[in-house]
Amino acid sequence: MKRYALLVAYDGTDYGGWQIQKNAVSVQQRMEEACARVFGARTCVTASGRTDSGVHAAGQVCHFDAETTIPAEKIAEVLNMHLPPDISVLNSAEAPEGFDANRSAKKKTYCYRVYLSPRRNPLKDRYSVWVKTPVDISKLKYISGAFVGKRDFKAYCKSGSQVKTTVREVYSVRVESGESYGSRDVEIYVCGAGFLYNMVRTIAGTMLCFAQGFLSEDEIARSFSDLDREAVGRTMPSKGLTLESVEYGLENFL
């Protein structure tokens, strides 16, 4: 048995998220089905972490163990023959010594995308969310610093989540913006060691509320001091969220 690592991209629109579950088709299920066909044996595929229902991935990383004569770098192509069009293995390699896609992950970067426009644009709607109320981009950039650091993100987590601690470290929040098709595209990149359920989508919603004038800097401060869920913006829809990349602090192995 050898361990292999995969770099995977998927359009999450039609999936109930990464993780195998009863009531929806998951990306993990499709990956494990493809592995079963290629390696002729039930294969568990472990990702860097779950992505929620409807969330996309440009650079999800997974690992699995298998016995195969297929050269490691050819596995991507062979798996793709058994995967649906909305999932693609971009790269495959033998995993480094002791590698675990989930436990070895050091940093994850998510991107939340919106476009600012008086009207909906169907060509932007799949990976980005329409925002009609004007947003002040300079205020959006200004407030991004409020979310950086080791903090208690309890107010940014779906209530009822069972986690040991709601403290997480965010390394950076970066706002990029550009024009296309007559409207402004905004990308909010959030990089951290790990995230709570709904955390990135609620950070994005809070930043947007602030930049629209619906939430004050004081309120955002209170979301951390009093962990007040009323002081944060709405959790944005899943389709605007993409897992961009996962870093392992290892030399380019994928």
Asked if 31 interacts with a copy of itself (CB under 8 A), we say no
Interacting residue with a copy of itself among 74, 106, 126, 150 (CB under 8 A): 126
**78 is a contact residue toward a copy of itself (CB under 8 A):** no
- Which of 175, 242, 246, 248 forms a contact with a copy of itself (CB under 8 A)? 242
Residue 144 and residue 127: Cα distance in Å, rounded? 21
Binding-residue pattern over the window 149 to 178 for a copy of itself, x denoting contact by CB under 8 A: ------------------------------
The reply to whether 76 sits near a copy of itself by the rule CB under 8 A is yes
Q: Is residue 77 part of the contact set for a copy of itself (CB under 8 A)? A: yes
Site for a copy of itself contains 91 (CB under 8 A): yes
Single residue of 98, 160, 178, 182 touching a copy of itself by CB under 8 A: 182
56 scored as a contact of a copy of itself (CB under 8 A): yes
Q: Which residues contact 172 (CB under 8 A, 6 or more apart)?
A: 148, 189, 190, 191
Residue 81 found at the interface with a copy of itself (CB under 8 A): no
Residue with tokens 């650091």: 149
The distance from CA 239 to its chain's CA centroid, rounded to whole angstroms, is: 10
Distance CA 64, CA 1 (A): 10
Task: Give a three-class secondary structure readout of 6-74.
Answer: EEEEECHHHCCCCCCCCCCCCHHHHHHHHHHHHHCCCCCCEECCCCCCCCEEEEEEEEEEECCCCCHHH
Q: Is 48 in the site for a copy of itself (CB under 8 A)?
A: no
2 binds a copy of itself, rule: CB under 8 A: no
Scanning 42-50, 74-82, 137-145, 212-220 for contacts with a copy of itself by CB under 8 A, the matching segment is 74-82
Exposure on the CB side of residue 242, measured as CA atoms within 13 A: 20
Count the residues of the shown chain that bind a copy of itself, applying the rule CB under 8 A: 27
CA–CA dist 238, 179 (Å, integer): 23
In whole angstroms, the minimum distance from the beta carbon of 248 to a copy of itself comes to 17
Q: Which residues of 37-66 are buried (b: 16+ CB within 10 A; e: fewer)?
A: ebbeeebebbbbbbbbbbbbbbbbbbbbeb
Residue 152 is among the residues annotated as catalytic for this protein: no
Rounded to whole angstroms, the Cα distance separating 109 from 49 reads 12
Q: 143: which 2 tokens?
A: 């407030």
Q: Which of 14, 52, 65, 86 is catalytic?
A: 52
- Select from 22, 42, 119, 164 the one that contacts a copy of itself (CB under 8 A): 119
SS3 84: coil
Which position among 10, 115, 156, 197 is part of the footprint of a copy of itself (CB under 8 A)?
10
Q: Which residues bind a copy of itself (CB under 8 A)?
A: 9-11, 56, 58-59, 76-77, 80, 85-91, 119-123, 125-127, 181-182, 242
Catalytic (active-site) positions: 52
